Amino acid sequence: MKPFMKKLFGFSIGPVGGAFISFITIPVTTHFVSPAEYGKASMFILFQTLIGTFLYLGVDQAYTREYHEADNKADLFRNALLIPLGLAAAVCAVIVLDSHFVSRVLFGEGRYVLASALFGIMIVFMVLERFILLSIRMKERAFEYSFFNLLIKAVLLVATLVFVLFIRRDFLAVLYSTVVGQILGDLYLIIRYRRYFLVKHFRPDKRLAARLLKFGLPLAVAASVTSLLNSFGRLSLRAWSSYEEIGIYAATLKIAALLSIVQTSFTNFWVPTAYRWFNEKRRMVYFKLVSEGVLLVMSWLFFTILTCKRLVVLLLSPGYADAAYLIGFLCLQPVLYTVSETTTLGIVFSKKSYLNIWVSFISIAPCLLLSVLLIPHFGAVGAAVSTGVSYVFFFWGRSFFSEKNWEGFPLRKHFWVTAVMFLAALANAFPLKGIELLNIALFLAVSGIQMPAIKNIWNMFRAKQLNLEKS
């Protein structure tokens, strides 16, 4: 258990430090940039994410799947990088050659040519960064992985401060600081790990590439649909609402992303650990214990943020006041995604990656329907409801298909806790009197449902204390 916790702690340093940096970056940005301008900047980041998901073709996930089975990990890295990097270079060339069109798509006007060109260049750096960090992560170098994540975040913060304080205070300030900060951070990463790119004795392996694509393409389809799911709120607001509503929604997402501290820390640590446990044929009780522990932590963090939702407005600025009504539903995204990482293992271990496509479609169907019905009338609140509901279906879909392909463990407790959190998110979407008391009551209900897990964790802690006293 000690090595387990040490690695988890190591992988947590980066996200926790990154969250602290975000706590500084978010209010700096939202206090100087209006919701409408912030909405324009968020469209740049949104399309970067959407295109990035497509470019990887699932090869990044296939790389992690093959890593422990590969004898020559350097060749695996180069073969895995080759396809996404080539595709990124081609997309970059197309964007640079027709930057006026890209500018109209991103910002509604064709005059932001430089911003569009930087968008294309950033895509190439994004692919290189992804595979370098994946390699460090799969080697389980937790502290090294966290350091470079922190470095990139810190460079982004410095770039943001320079632009909004000394250069300009519109959406281009957010955009340029993001691009400059990201590229500078990635350049250091590329120079530091330049040995990964030595090609003197490298020969592309067509069989390996085919195997990576065979495993990765279904995941790419699923990831693209999931990315669309994450983005559909902002895309719908772009179609049926205003940049101001997009800005409020995007800023609230940044606050909800603080829960991604746990999501990122846990996922970075859990993916290689789960593969290793499966290969070692660990007993199911270990997987169950981790899942119940994650559910407990994420549900408690969810209610902590709901209780402090008024601080969200203070953190952002008065112009983003409606964020208080969005936060509950948007927090369901990182909460349920993190918990689902412990309940989707049957899909991963069975290598039936195509099932993720079905999970994605199960998730996006209610999102599409609710977006059409709610966003024209309720704006950002409607988008938040659509996102929250879709992630309930996402969690259920992952868990359902996993159970069909793996012995697994009972999930009744997980579904009850999810139902209570959804009820809390719904209640907090309205200006109800006595909402604080209701939040406390629902928190106690969630804790009561998970009392066996609380007792197990307490007993483990007591046993560890007794062992320390005896030694």
316, two tokens? 């952002």
Sign of CA dihedral 339, 345, 346, 352: positive
Predicted pLDDT at 127: 93
For 223-280, the pLDDT digits (tens) are 777 778 778 888 889 888 888 888 888 888 878 877 777 777 777 677 778 878 877 8
The residues, any chain, with a CB within 8 Å of residue 158's CB and separated by 6 or more, are: 181
Q: How far apart are the C-alpha atoms of 39 and 74, rounded to whole Å?
A: 41
* DSSP 8-state code for residue 27: H
Predicted pLDDT at 426: 95
The residues, any chain, with a CB within 8 Å of residue 104's CB and separated by 6 or more, are: 110
132: closest CA among 53, 63, 180, 218? 63
Q: Which residue's entry shows tokens 């990124």?
A: 88
Residues composing the chain: 471
Phi, psi of 28 (to 5 degrees): -60, -45
Predicted pLDDT at 421: 97
Q: How far apart are the C-alpha atoms of 47 and 50, rounded to whole Å?
A: 5
Residue 322 in contact with residue 381, Cβ under 8 Å? yes
65: closest CA among 74, 55, 76? 76
Give me the half-sphere count of Cα atoms (radius 13 Å) on the Cβ side of residue 166. Answer: 6
142: closest CA among 327, 294, 277, 14? 14
124: closest CA among 158, 166, 98, 86? 86
Give me the half-sphere count of Cα atoms (radius 13 Å) on the Cβ side of residue 361. Answer: 6
Q: Is 226 helix (H, G, I), strand (E, B) or coil?
A: helix
Q: How far apart are the C-alpha atoms of 260 and 184, rounded to whole Å?
A: 24
Q: Which residue's entry shows tokens 């205003």?
A: 242
Predicted pLDDT at 40: 85
* DSSP 8-state code for residue 164: I
Residue 432 in contact with residue 438, Cβ under 8 Å? yes
Predicted pLDDT at 418: 96
The residues, any chain, with a CB within 8 Å of residue 3's CB and separated by 6 or more, are: none
Task: Give the alpha-carbon dihedral of 381, 41, 258, 390, to 10 degrees.
Answer: 40
For 363-400, the pLDDT digits (tens) are 989 998 999 999 998 999 999 999 999 999 999 999 99
The residues, any chain, with a CB within 8 Å of residue 311's CB and separated by 6 or more, are: none
Angle at alpha carbon of residue 205, lines to 203 and 208, rounded to 5°: 150
Residue 165 in contact with residue 33, Cβ under 8 Å? no
Phi, psi of 450 (to 5 degrees): -100, 15
The predicted model scores a pTM of 0.74
The residues, any chain, with a CB within 8 Å of residue 206's CB and separated by 6 or more, are: none
Domain spans of the chain? 1-204, 241-471
Predicted pLDDT at 32: 83
Predicted pLDDT at 449: 93
Predicted pLDDT at 469: 58
Q: How far apart are the C-alpha atoms of 211 and 208, rounded to whole Å?
A: 5
For 319-334, the pLDDT digits (tens) are 777 888 899 999 999 9
* DSSP 8-state code for residue 46: H
For 101-120, the pLDDT digits (tens) are 988 888 878 888 999 999 89
Residue 43 in contact with residue 175, Cβ under 8 Å? no
Q: How far apart are the C-alpha atoms of 224 and 194, rounded to whole Å?
A: 30
Residue 16 in contact with residue 265, Cβ under 8 Å? yes
Q: Which positions of the chain have pLDDT values less than 70? A: 1-12, 14-15, 23, 268, 464-471
